[in-house]
Amino acid sequence: MPENLFDILIKCWAILYNHVMKNTLEHISFRKNWILSEKTVNLLGQCYAYVNSMLNIPIRPDYNQELHSVSFKKGALATTAIEGNTLTLEDLAQIRNGKNLPPSREYQQREVENVLEAFQIIYKELITEKSPYLVSPEMLKRLHRMVGRDIGEAFGGDPGRFRRQNVIVGAVYRPPSFELVEGLVKRLCDWLIREFHYNRGQNFDDAVIEAIVSHVYLVWIHPFMDGNGRTARLLEFYLILRAGIPTFASHVLSNHYNETRTMYYKQLQSASETGDLSAFIEYALEGFRDGLVQIIATIHKEQTELTWNNYVHGLIEGMQGKNSKTMRRLRQLAYRMPADRFCGLNEIRILSPGIAEEYRSLNDVTIRRDLEVLVKAGLLKAEKGKYRANHRSLYRFLPETGVSIKRHY
């Protein structure tokens, strides 16, 4: 009886706390409190088209691994930068080369490395082992342990344990009383299964929206003393990968939140005041779409360079009357010449170590003659004594159409 009375008193105190702090928890409704506007639906369609395009573009394994590695690094840096971490890609390169950062930045190093290791664990489970699982309280605790491993007191509590005291976030937001956390997390996990029905077959739209909504709800509930934002974005990363989105696009949302940090916090605050997630979903999808566009452009550039090199190689190999040394020089010039600007002779000589070596002992007459051979072959464009690669020649191999096709969103 005394224990029951004690439990009742605790619950009454929690209710009073939330009332006094003007936090009725109405925004944590576990309902589909959002409307997909015409713009949002179009954004989802664009995102699906870009992702589907990525999944159907053959990419060299080494380049795919490079994209994957860069994405994970950018994602780890972005999600920790939102919390104030100042590490850069250059710092990570230094760490990878075996040079630890100064003691004053060890915490930042450990923080980023934790997220990177978490990415790799999730990648192994989802992509390599094909072992997806549903969101659960234990899963969230596990993600939190990954984020907070070996950080110590600076992390604000034991990694993997729900908070046991009340907190204020940013001097404005008061999360639910700690006594309610465990129950709210359980309700969140149950609701995600019902609302987004991953275990009954999930389409692209539901998967992406679940990732975004899960992120916001975890931030709202704020179940841990520290690391809630990082854990929420790690959960979002997990759900993005589980949806079948390529690993090299896994950083896009975290990168968007970091690059628009002021708007990110503004959208979170607005959503917590109204409980309506419509605007946050649209904001997140707009950044997701823009990030996917950048990745497509990066892949397209690499594919263009690969096609260009193959085209150059075949064309030069077919030239009559050229010895092997001359053809090697011609290939070096055509491979390395930029397509976005014209270059004079002095710049061309140092475009690459290969070109520098080929022409080290040759005079300007020889290099000009080689350049004019490439201009005549249609591989270079010339203007006022300067040259650039003529990548436009590749467009002859695109499918022919009678009109220019445009689509307005």
Tell me the CATH number at 7.
1.10.3290.10
pLDDT tier for residue 322 given thresholds of 50, 70 and 90: confident
What is the rounded (10 degree) CA torsion for 6, 11, 16, 17? 100
Q: Are residues 327 and 275 in the same domain?
A: no
Closest Cα partner for 329 from 368, 302, 303?
Answer: 368
Q: Are residues 207 and 348 in the same domain?
A: no
Q: Are residues 341 and 224 in the same domain?
A: no
**Bigger pLDDT: 13 or 137?**
137
Amino acid at 401: T
pLDDT tens digits, 380-395: 999 999 999 998 888 7
Among 59-73, 287-301, 324-338, 384-398, name the one with the lowest average pLDDT. 384-398
What is the per-residue pLDDT for 301? Answer: 87
Q: Are residues 152 and 248 in the same domain?
A: yes
What is the per-residue pLDDT for 24? Answer: 58
pLDDT tens digits, 135-159: 999 999 999 999 999 887 777 768 9
- Report CA 2 to chain centroid distance, whole Å: 52
Domain presence at residue 80: yes
pLDDT tier for residue 1 given thresholds of 50, 70 and 90: very low
Q: Are residues 188 and 284 in the same domain?
A: yes
Q: What percent of the chain has pLDDT over 90?
A: 71
Helix-helix angle 364-376:324-336, to 10 degrees: 70
Per DSSP, helices labelled H in 133-177 are 137-148
pLDDT tens digits, 93-125: 888 888 878 888 888 899 999 999 999 999 999
Q: Are residues 286 and 326 in the same domain?
A: no
pLDDT tier for residue 16 given thresholds of 50, 70 and 90: very low
Domain presence at residue 98: yes
Q: Are residues 287 and 342 in the same domain?
A: no
Pair of tokens at residue 186? 């359980």
Among 1-10, 239-248, 314-323, name the one with the lowest average pLDDT. 1-10
Among 69-78, 335-344, 380-389, 397-406, name the one with the lowest average pLDDT. 397-406
CB 348 within 8 Å of CB 367: yes
pLDDT tier for residue 404 given thresholds of 50, 70 and 90: very low
Q: Are residues 373 and 265 in the same domain?
A: no
Q: What is the CATH number of the domain that holds 343?
A: 1.10.10.10
Amino acid at 315: L
Closest Cα partner for 92 from 105, 104, 83, 84?
Answer: 105
Domain that holds residue 379: 320-397
What's the mean per-residue pLDDT of the chain? 89
Which of 234, 264, 299 is the last residue before a domain boundary?
299
Phi, psi of 84 (to 5 degrees): 105, 0
CB 236 within 8 Å of CB 253: yes
Q: What percent of the chain has pLDDT over 70?
A: 90
Among 36-45, 51-60, 96-105, 245-254, name the one with the lowest average pLDDT. 96-105
Q: What is the domain count for the chain?
A: 2
Domain presence at residue 408: no
What is the per-residue pLDDT for 194? Answer: 93
